[in-house]
């Protein structure tokens, strides 16, 4: 759950990922030390980008964008795991 009255929040999505609002309207996500991507709010929409900066779409809520970025359905060639 996101507390919109705070400027810095941590959002836990499921058991695996952690999202930090590092700047008002800009979230950065990670899972066990792996960078997942970013979410940026523009007015009432949330733009998701994966770990290599590729657009994953526009969503109606930060929670919906978190779901997309936290999914394991990304192509393997776009993996952001540390080598």
Rounded mean pLDDT, 51-72: 90
Question: In percent, how much of the chain has pLDDT > 70?
Answer: 66
Please state the pTM of the whole predicted model: 0.73
- Residues 7 and 1: their CA atoms lie apart, in Å, by 14
What is the chain's length?
83
What is the torsional sign of CA 64, 70, 72, 77?
A: positive
Mean pLDDT of the chain: 78
Question: What residue ranges do the domains of the chain occupy?
Answer: 10-73
């Amino acid at each position: 759950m996101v507390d919109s009255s705070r400027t810095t929040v941590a959002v836990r999505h499921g058991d695996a990922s952690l999202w930090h609002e590092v700047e008002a309207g800009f979230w950065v996500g990670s899972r066990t030390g792996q960078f997942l991507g970013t979410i940026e709010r523009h007015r009432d929409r949330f733009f998701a980008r994966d770990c290599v900066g590729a657009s994953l779409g526009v969503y109606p809520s930060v929670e919906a964008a978190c779901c997309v970025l936290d999914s394991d359905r990304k192509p393997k060639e776009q993996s952001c795991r540390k080598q």
